[in-house]
Amino acid sequence: MATEFHNLQELRHSASLVTKVFVQRDYSEGTICRFQAKFPSELDNRIERTLLEETVKTLNSYYVEAEKIGGQSYLEGCLACATAYIVFLCMETRYEKVLKKITGYIQEQNEKIYAPRGLLLTDPVERGMRVLEISVFEDRGSGSSSPSSSLSSAGSSAR
C-alpha cells in the first residue's frame, strides 16, 4: 500500500496530496517551542513510529538550543543593548542560525526518510511555529488516488 518515491522531485511531480497531518505544540513546559511526541494515528501505516518520534525529538532539542538562556544569549543581549540594538540589523542572531540548521535538517529528513514513504515535512517556521505539518501524498498513477478526485467533483456539485 505504501507508495515508493525515490526523491522529492518525483514526489512533487507525480503525487497528489491526500491529506495533511498536524503535530501540535506541547506547552507543558511553558512557552518554549516544543512539539508533541504523540504519534498521529493517520500515519500508522505510512511510517514507523520510532522514525517520526526521533525527528520530533531532534527538532525539540534544536529549539531548546535556540531558546537557551545562557552565556551566549546574555552576551548577545547586552551587546545589543549597549549598541542601542543597531547590532541586530547587521548580525544574525543565534536563534536565526539555529533555525537555518533546522531547515537543513528537515530537508535532509525529507529526502532520506519521508519522501520515500510519500510524506513531506513542512518547516514549522513557515507555519508560525504552531504546527509541524506533514503532507501525505498518494501516487497519482495508482488506482487508490480516486477518492480525492471523486470528492472534488462532489464538492463542486454541492455549490
Partner 1 sequence: MMKNCEYQQIDPRALSVSPSSTQSHTETKVQRSRRKWEVFPGKNRFFCNGRIILARQSGILPLTLGLIVVTCGLFFAFDCPFLVKHLTVFIPVIGGVLFVFVVTSLLRTSFTDPGILPRATPDEATDIEKQIDTSGSSTYRPPPRTKEILINQQVVKLKYCFTCKMFRPPRTSHCSLCDNCVERFDHHCPWVGNCVGKRNYRFFYSFIISLSFLTSFIFGCVVTHITLRSQEGKSLVQSIQESPASVVELVICFFSIWSIMGLSGFHTYLIASNLTTNEDIKGSWSSKRCTEDSGNPYSYNSIITNCCATLCGPMPPSLIDTRGFLSLDEAIPAASASELELPPFTAKNDAHMCTQSTKDVLERMVHSYDIHDLCPPGTPKTTPLGLEVSSTAAPSTEPSPSAGCLRQHALQPMADPCPPFSRSSKRRDSLHSINPAFRLASPSPSLSHTTLILGDAPAIGFIPLP
Considering the rule CB under 8 A, would residue 157 count as an interface residue with partner 1?
no
Question: Alpha helices, DSSP H only, in 67-111?
Answer: 71-82, 87-90, 94-109
Cell 533546522 sits at which residue? Answer: 102
DSSP summary character for residue 83: T
Considering the rule CB under 8 A, would residue 93 count as an interface residue with partner 1?
yes
* Shortest Cβ 143–partner 1 spacing (Å): 16
DSSP summary character for residue 9: H
Number of residues that bind partner 1 (CB under 8 A): 50
Cell 472534488 sits at which residue? Answer: 152
Rounded to 5°, angle at Cα 115 from 125 and 6 = 145
Build a one-symbol-per-residue string for 28-57: x at contacts with partner 1 by CB under 8 A, - elsewhere: xxxx--------------------------
Site for partner 1 in 97-136 (CB under 8 A): 99, 125-131, 133
Q: Which residues touch 103 (CB under 8 Å, ≥6 apart)?
A: 123, 125
* Shortest Cβ 116–partner 1 spacing (Å): 21
Give residues in contact with partner 1 (CB under 8 A): 16-22, 25, 27-31, 66-69, 73-74, 76-78, 80-81, 84-86, 88, 93-96, 99, 125-131, 133, 147-149, 151-152, 154-155, 158-159
